[in-house]
């Protein structure tokens, strides 16, 4: 497939309803990870840009929070319709910038479409609570209030979907937002924010500031006008965000790493299991927080499952995500390619066998990009580094176990707890796994990826700090409760005393 090279266009931040350059004029280049072609020049913003965005969001907050929630929802309905109209264009932009194959990029945008309509509907709900008072002629109820200015700091692997999870929930609740996208995927963020501008969102309600974590991300976390931070990224940075936010008692939600596992029992449908494993381990080139990086297989199924997996893995086709023939796209950048490859020597030192893959793909056009061959480890034991650490690439570690109980113990034996899966035809085993798998998401006879936006998304242990994104769980984070008492008795009544 022929692809047009980038024209070096200079893009801008979106602050207070205007597209503006960084205050000091600095820019950085962005490249297609599949072939190294230039996509464009994007702002390298700093404190002055953060200050300007925070001032705009603070000013816009008073009007936006007083806008009736159903009216806020009408804006999101328009956003959803525009996203539908522009789905293909945004998906192609996303593929060129992030690398995932086009069918997955379309799914990334579809999540934003789904979230727009879902959260728009919540504008006519935003349920509070009405409870009886212990005193006569007195009403008692609770309502949700917005937090204020919210900073949404998002990763590169879902550069449209994850911003939609955060920003749309924040906006429908009446907050104003500053979006800081990953430095690897700013173009997708520009396309996303353009939709809100064209849908008529008032100036200052959603602002886009592009730049690095140190020059934009942490200044947002520390900014006195930012009331809350929603962060998705690495555990290392997430801890720093949490510490800095705690200094000012700011609310923060963290969505961090994963080391997700698929369990395959002896009685599983192996054809179905192989399909689920391949999709979960090598979809998005393994660059999902919910990707399957561990395969926990019962001894009786291991040999046949391994044979079928190797046969299918060898047929996976690497290439540019815009090509119809591509199954697996590139890693996001050269640094991530090096990081993934560094685990091959770790595996060898731990006595792990590399059954396939284990090296960058350098032939032909693949040499121009950050391609890594899909890799399968065998002989992995619980506790090994390759079994415990998040690699974030197309690498799958196979661990053999004797029983369901051992499989569950291995699954739960990491510092992460995002997603897990079990393939079995035994209803009792499935029910046991649903009860005992200590992850925020559990699948039965399906892979570890594919969460839907109407349920809460998030994990346990080191995967986050307990909050959830998507579904009603997102509204819990982006609102705070206000208890209201209305006494119409005409006299002073003292709760707990005059009851």
Could you tell me the two tokens for 389? 């650490």
Which helix H or strand E contains 273, and what residues bound it? Answer: helix 270-282
- The H or E element spanning position 139 is strand 138-146
Which residue among 255, 387, 390, 400 is the active-site one?
255
**Quick check: is 152 catalytic?**
no
Structure tokens at 237: 């940075």
Pairing outcome for strands 138-146 and 129-132: antiparallel
379: left (phi over 0), alpha (psi -120 to 50) or beta: left
Is 292 among the residues known to form the active site? no
**395: helix, strand or coil:** strand
Task: Kindly compute the dihedral angle of the four CA atoms of residues 172, 174, 178, 180, in this order, to the nearest 10 degrees.
Answer: -30
Closest CA to 388 of 407, 415, 406: 415
Helices (H) and strands (E) in the chain, counts: 15, 21
Cα–Cα dist 281/259, whole Å: 11
Among candidate residues 289, 390, 400, 469, the one labeled active-site is 289
Tracing tokens 């085993």 back to the chain, one arrives at: 429
Give the C-alpha separation, 119 to 454, whole Å. 9
Of 247, 226, 223, which is closest to residue 150 (Cα–Cα)?
Answer: 226
Q: Are 220 and 229 in contact (CB under 8 A)?
A: yes
- H helix or E strand, kind and range, residue 138: strand 138-146
In order, the DSSP letters of 321-361 are: TTSTT-SB---SSHHHHHHHHHHHHHHHHTT-EEEE--SB-
Active site residues: 255, 289
């Amino acid at each position: 497939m022929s692809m047009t090279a980038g024209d070096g266009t200079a893009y801008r931040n979106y602050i207070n309803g205007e597209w503006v350059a960084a205050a000091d004029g600095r820019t950085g280049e962005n490249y297609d990870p599949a072939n190294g072609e230039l996509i464009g020049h994007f702002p390298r913003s700093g404190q002055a840009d953060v200050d300007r965005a925070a001032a705009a969001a603070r000013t816009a907050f008073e009007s936006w929070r007083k806008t009736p929630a159903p009216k806020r929802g009408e804006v999101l309905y328009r956003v959803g319709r525009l996203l539908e109209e522009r789905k293909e264009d945004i998906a192609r932009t996303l593929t060129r910038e992030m690398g995932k194959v086009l069918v997955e990029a379309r799914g990334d945008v579809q999540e934003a479409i789904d979230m727009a309509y879902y959260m728009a509907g919540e504008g006519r709900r935003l349920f509070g609570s009405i409870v009886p008072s212990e005193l006569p002629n007195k009403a008692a109820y609770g309502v949700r209030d917005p937090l204020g200015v919210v900073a949404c700091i998002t990763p590169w692997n879902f550069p449209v979907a994850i911003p939609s999870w955060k920003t749309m929930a924040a906006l429908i609740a009446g907050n104003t937002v500053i979006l800081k996208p990953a430095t690897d995927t700013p173009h997708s963020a520009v396309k996303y924010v353009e939709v809100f501008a064209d849908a008529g969102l008032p100036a200052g309600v959603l602002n886009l500031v592009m730049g690095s974590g140190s020059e934009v991300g942490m200044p947002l976390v520390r900014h006195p006008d930012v009331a809350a931070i929603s962060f998705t990224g690495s555990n290392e940075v997430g801890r720093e965000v949490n510490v800095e936010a705690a200094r000012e008692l700011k609310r923060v939600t963290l969505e961090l790493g994963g080391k997700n596992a698929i369990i395959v029992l002896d009685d599983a449908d192996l054809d179905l299991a192989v399909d689920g494993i391949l999709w979960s381990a090598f979809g998005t080139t393994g660059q999902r927080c919910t990707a399957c990086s561990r395969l926990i297989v019962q001894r009786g199924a291991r040999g046949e499952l391994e044979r079928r997996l190797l046969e299918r893995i060898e047929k996976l086709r690497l290439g540019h995500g815009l090509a119809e023939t591509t199954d697996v796209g590139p890693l996001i950048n050269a640094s991530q390619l090096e990081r993934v490859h560094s685990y091959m020597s770790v595996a060898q030192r731990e006595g792990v066998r590399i059954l396939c893959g284990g090296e960058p793909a350098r032939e032909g056009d693949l040499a121009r990009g950050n391609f890594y061959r899909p890799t399968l480890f065998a002989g992995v034991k619980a506790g090994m580094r390759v079994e415990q650490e998040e690699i974030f690439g197309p690498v799958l570690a196979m661990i053999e176990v004797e029983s369901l109980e051992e499989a569950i113990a291995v699954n739960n034996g990491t510092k992460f707890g995002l997603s897990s899966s079990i393939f079995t035809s035994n209803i009792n085993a499935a029910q046991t796994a649903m009860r005992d798998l200590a992850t925020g998401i559990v699948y039965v006879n399906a892979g570890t990826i594919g969460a839907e936006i109407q349920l809460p998304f998030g994990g346990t242990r080191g995967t986050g700090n307990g909050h959830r994104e998507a579904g009603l769980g997102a509204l819990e984070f982006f609102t705070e409760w206000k208890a209201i008492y209305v006494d119409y008795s005409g006299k002073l009544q003292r709760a707990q005393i005059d009851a």
